[in-house]
Amino acid sequence: MSKSLADFAVKHAIKKGATYAEARYEKSSGSGLVFKNGVPQISGFDEEEGIGARLVYHGAMQFVSTDVMDKKSVARVVEMGVKMAKACAHLMKDPVELAAEEAIEDRYVVKEKKSISSFDVKDKFELMRDVESELSDLGLKIPARYFSLSDAALEKYFVNSTGTKVDARLPMVGFTYMITVQNGSKTMQKHQEFARTSGYEALSEWNLLEKAAGTARNLDLVMKNGVRLPKGELDLVCGPEVVGIAVHESVGHPQEADRILGREAAQAGESFLGPDSIGVRIGSDAVTVMDDPTIPHSAGFYLYDDEGVRARPKYLINGGAVTEFLQNKESAWQMNTMSNGSSRAMDYSTEPIIRMSNTFIPPGEMSEEELLSGVKKGVYVKSFMEWNIDDKRFNQRYVSAEAYLVENGEVTKPVKRVTLETTTPEFWGAVDAVANNLEYFAGTCGKGEPMQGVPVSMGGPSIRLRSIRLGD
Amino acid sequence: MRVSKEFYDGIDYILKKSEKEFDDVIAHGVISEAKQIKFTNNAVSTGKVWEDRGVNLFVAKDQKLASTLVKELDKKSVNAMVKKLARFVKLTKPNNEYVGIDAGKSKYKKIQNSYDPSIPKLNDELVDLVEAGVNGALSKGAERCGGIIESGWTKEYLRTSAGIKAKQKGTSASFSIRAFASKDASGHKLSCARSLHHFKPEDAGKRAGETARQALDPAPGKPGKYNVMFDPMAFAVFLDHVGDAASMFSVEAGYSFMEGRLNRRVASDQVTLHDDPLLAGGMFSTSFDAEGRQTRRHTVIRSGILRTFLHNTSTAARYNTDSTSNAGIIAPHAWNLVLDTGSFELPEMLREVKDGLYVTNVWYMRFQNYKTGDFSVIPRDAIFKVKNGQIEGAVKDLRISDNMKDIMLNVYGVGKHREQIHGWEVETPVKTAPVLVKHVKFTKSLEK
């Protein structure tokens, strides 16, 4: 019945005069649990389903959604969409056109080794208690501990009026912690997200206990033994977490074609790049950046996007030059190219827009040790807490959580508060080497209006930047 | 979407069935419908229509807490859901911080200007309002603009096992426009209201266009400490974070720079900040909180002194005080933050800045440490240079890298005229005038 409602939405839109229609049926069954300072706060489960549909009517694009699962409601919102499209007609500049894509019929399922349904409430409480115990056993002062665990089994069905039908089943588990470590009168904090498109076998990948405890121990050491950064230009080694955020913010976002075309101007912003920036150099020869939704079990995994387009790996930067923007069908038409399957919606009630998936620097040849050995005097920034970037994605700032001096190729003392405030070309232009220790970090990327948070991952191996100015 | 009798009957039935299984029950039903038009480069890019219906069900048994969303309201589905929830709760562990939900008698106050029957009927008029906003911006010198207009209505029905039976309905309309006079010269303005009478998209468009035009040809900004006049859109971002930091949940979870400061100074004496759930036309105004308790206005900061944190029944019990009617079942939160006005007109404020900056908007605020209040945020859109109390051109590419405690302690003046701000960067509605802050630290990208 539910999938047939999506079919009905498409047929009804076409019947009402739409030249194109697509619909998504999504059903999500999930649960969550929150702990604060060792106390279980609340747990729960939800089952949500709904229909989201887009239609093009006389050149106007409309998105409609409902969670009332009957034909009458679906017909009603589709007709409201048509009515609004008619109203919008006189304020349209160019009719919306979508790049043509092949019709696809397919189904894909991500299998769970340790299924979400088999990991019951008791297991979840036990996991939270284990993380809590691991931290308390450190003997450090950790006055605030916030943990959140969530899972969901998502069923998706996409259908459009040009013959595409895609069914998918995607399990997803996620964990977030935020810890405050105190040493004397000083405190440091760290927020960390974990997400995986899989069952609870994710836990063995994440090493939550080890990671949380390691972070707490290292923050304590930074407070206790951290030295101030020497003045002047230094070589900088960014660890995979820092590479991940830099790749996401200053390569992935500015290469979203909808930003480049101005569609997100009032919300997520625009881009320092223009439609004609393909081939423009923004980094050194050593810099290659990819976005790849097809990485199995990744946080941003999918095989077909929310416009029914087959996903594929994309080189955003190759050898320092811009090679390909992230495109959906609408931006692709405007830029005279094809969609590369980058259209995602947070859920059935939100319109699909251009998003990243898993954005990263592919591994290089040398080990992290070899990379570090080439640094006489520098700093290794392992993780960050504060960051931001301007809405053209040009001026960015990352402030370290964990950082260490590098002296004659060796990581030595912890360093307090390393601030990197730089421009996109300055940062990527200074990269001279890329290691092979690729790691991904999960995040929730926000964009759109209403705000849509979608799971992504970001990462890379450690990279080395020569002669960087650091500090506020 | 029609709100049927079945919806209300369904919620009554959820309560009736759940009360047999649990100590405490809250069933909060919400039906809503919204329309949005997104515009890009002066033209419509997408229209959107949403409808949504559901009942948030919270239950507690022996201090074991759980929640779920109930979508199907027929008796058979409700019976099955309550059984499933009872099985689930048995497997959970108790939250020994939980003391129950408010059982007091409630007499709900009607919110003024919170429902306008003409808003749910808007359709073609939304496009006209977009056009008026865009033309307003273009008439003042913008060359292009983008943004959204949104309208909607909500109906709520809340029942609790403590005998609460509460209903309310509301409408809202919001308009967000960012105007560009060039790639580097922009202005962003909002209009948000609960009734059409107070909804002014054309005015927002004109002000955004004017700001963009004035910001043409910005020079590179210089890092340093400046006296700053913050427009309401910019200062609202800071006040939104003050509201978050005032929640007792934030304090306990490590997200507050006001921990341990009750009845102590957290801001300059120019700052008096209220949380006002009964604010006429307030975007989040509500007669009752998530426990069904009747809401009332609280002064969070009076003349710079922190007078209260925001509490629900359980957090209040832990600190030997009363709920401030800010539930959130787990995390109390502000409803509408209102900063008392000061005496300054805009030209006087610029004279008070003397030599400094006028920041019209900020975005992407991130903390290095929520407890210490260290953060940075990016002035987006026009930053004006103020010299001898006059605007003397625009600057660009600066970042505010400062501390929330210092920002609030360094407030040295508040304007006379308030605006309501609610949107992308300001999740809790804030009503504020422009605000003067001294010695604000600005940084910029370091290049070779």
DSSP track, B134-150: HHHHHHTT-SEEEEEEE
B327 shares its domain with B207:
no
Mean pLDDT of chain A: 97
Nearest CB among B69, B254, B367 relative to A144 is that of B254
The partner residue sitting opposite A349, judged by closest CB among B50, B96, B252, is B50
Q: Are B160 and B177 in contact (CB under 8 A)?
A: no
Q: Alpha-carbon distance A382 to A239, whole Å?
A: 5
Burial class (CB in 10 A: 0-12, 13-18, 19+), B222: exposed
Of B38, B43, B448, the CB nearest to A469: B448
- Tell me which of B192, B214, B236 is where a domain ends: B214
Residue B352 falls inside a structural domain: yes
Among B197, B214, B231, identify where a domain stops.
B214
The answer to whether B370 contacts A189, with C-beta atoms less than 8 Å apart, is yes
Residue of A nearest to B48 (CA): A63
Segment holding B350, helix H or strand E: helix B346-353
SS3 B340: coil
Which amino acid would we find at residue A371? L
Q: Please, which residues have CB within 8 angstroms of residue A55's CB and are 6 or more apart in sequence?
A: A13, A18, A20, A21, A22, A61, A62, A64, A78, A81, A82, A85
Q: Quote the CA–CA distance of B431 and B433 in Å, as a whole number.
A: 7
Is there a single domain that holds both residue B17 and residue B37?
yes
Q: Domain coordinates of chain A in residue numbers?
A: 2-225, 233-469
Pair (B187, B248) in one structural domain:
no
Q: Rounded CA gap, A93 and A86, in Å?
A: 14
Q: Clarify whether residues B351 and B365 are in a common domain.
A: yes
Q: Record the tokens describing residue A440, joined without a space.
A: 């991904």
Which residues of chain B lie closer than 8 angstroms to A471, CB-CB?
Answer: 446
Angstrom distance (rounded) from CA A177 to CA B255: 13
Sort strands A233-238 and A463-469 into parallel, antiparallel or unpaired: antiparallel
- A45 closest CB neighbour out of B39, B88, B254: B88
Cβ neighbours of B448 (radius 10 Å): 10
Could you give the maximum distance between any two Cα atoms of chain B, in Å?
Answer: 73
Q: Which of B152, B179, B214 is a domain's end point? A: B214
Range of the structural domain that residue B134 is part of: 5-98+112-214
Is the Cβ–Cβ distance between B444 and A395 less than 8 Å? yes
CA-nearest of A114, A193, A171 to A457 is A193
Q: Which of A449, A466, A470 to substitute to test the interface with B, most B CBs within 10 Å?
A: A449
Query: Could you say which residues of chain A have pLDDT below 50?
Result: none
Residue B249's closest chain A neighbor by CA?
A36
**Gap between the Cα atoms of B69 and B119, Å rounded:** 28
Cβ–Cβ under 8 Å, residues B326 and B275: yes
Identify whether residues B178 and B292 lie together within a single domain. Answer: no
How many separate helices (H) and strands (E) can be counted in chain A? 10, 24
CATH classification at residue B15: 3.30.2290.10
**Do B254 and A62 lie within an 8 Å CB cutoff?**
no
Least Cα separation, residue B342 to chain A (angstroms) = 30
The verdict on B395 and B295 lying in the same domain is yes
Q: Do B191 and B257 have their domain in common?
A: no
DSSP character string of A39-80: EEEEEEEEEEEEEEEEEEETTEEEEEEE---SHHHHHHHHHH
B425 CA to chain A: closest CA distance, Å? Answer: 9
**Same domain membership, residue B116 and residue B31:** yes
Inter-CA distances, A198 with A116, A195, A202, A310, B81, Å: 8, 9, 7, 20, 26
Q: Buried (b) or exposed (e) across A455-469, using 16+ Cβ within 10 A?
A: bbbbbbbbbbbbebb
Element (H, E) at B419: strand B419-421
Task: For residue A44, give the nearest of B66, B363, B447 by CB distance.
Answer: B66
Burial class, A3, CB count within 10 angstroms (exposed 0-12 / middle 13-18 / buried 19+) = middle
Q: How many CA atoms lie within 13 A of B311 on its CB side?
A: 21
Partnered with residue B226 across adjacent β-strands are B440
pLDDT one-digit tens code per residue, A107-128:
999 999 999 999 999 999 999 9
The domain tally of chain B equals 2
User: Alpha-carbon dihedral of residues A167, A168, A169, A170, nearest 10 degrees?
Assistant: -160
CB B89 within 8 A of CB B59: yes
Residues B349 and B370 in one domain: yes
pLDDT of residue A91: 87
**Shared-domain flag, residues B343 and B230:** yes
Instruction: Say yes or no for a CB contact (<8 Å) between B92 and A43.
Output: yes
Structural fold of domain A2-225 = PmbA/TldD fold (3.30.2290)
What are the chain A neighbours of B330 within 8 Å (beta carbons)? 34, 41-42
Query: The pTM is what?
Result: 0.97
- Per-residue model confidence (pLDDT) at position A126: 97
Tens digit of pLDDT per residue, chain B (448 long)? Answer: 566 889 999 999 999 999 999 999 999 999 999 999 999 999 999 999 999 999 999 999 999 999 999 999 999 999 999 999 999 999 999 999 999 997 677 789 999 999 999 999 999 999 999 999 999 999 999 999 999 999 999 999 999 999 999 999 999 999 999 999 999 999 999 999 999 999 999 999 999 999 999 999 999 999 999 999 999 999 999 999 999 999 999 999 999 999 999 999 999 999 999 999 999 999 999 999 999 999 999 999 999 999 999 999 999 999 999 999 999 999 999 999 999 999 999 999 999 999 999 999 999 999 999 999 999 999 999 999 999 999 999 999 999 999 999 999 999 999 999 999 999 999 999 999 999 999 999 999 987 6
Strand-pairing partners, residue B359, are: B230, B383
Contacts of A121 in chain B (CB under 8 A): 88, 91-92
Does B104 fall in a domain? no
Alpha-carbon torsion (B349, B352, B358, B363), positive or negative: negative
- Residue B259, in any domain of the structure: yes
Q: What is the pLDDT of residue B448?
A: 67
**Shortest distance, CA A296 to any CA of chain B (angstroms):** 31
The letter for the amino acid at A306 is D
Q: What is the pLDDT of residues A130-168, one digit of tens each?
A: 999 999 999 999 999 999 999 999 999 999 999 999 999
Closest CA to B243 of B273, B278, B285, B286: B273
Query: B227 and B209 in one domain?
Result: no
Are A43 and A31 in contact, with CB atoms under 8 Å apart?
A: yes
**Strands A353-354 and B356-359, how do they pair?**
unpaired
The CA distance from A390 to B376, in Å, is: 11
**Residues B229 and B293 both lie in one domain:** yes
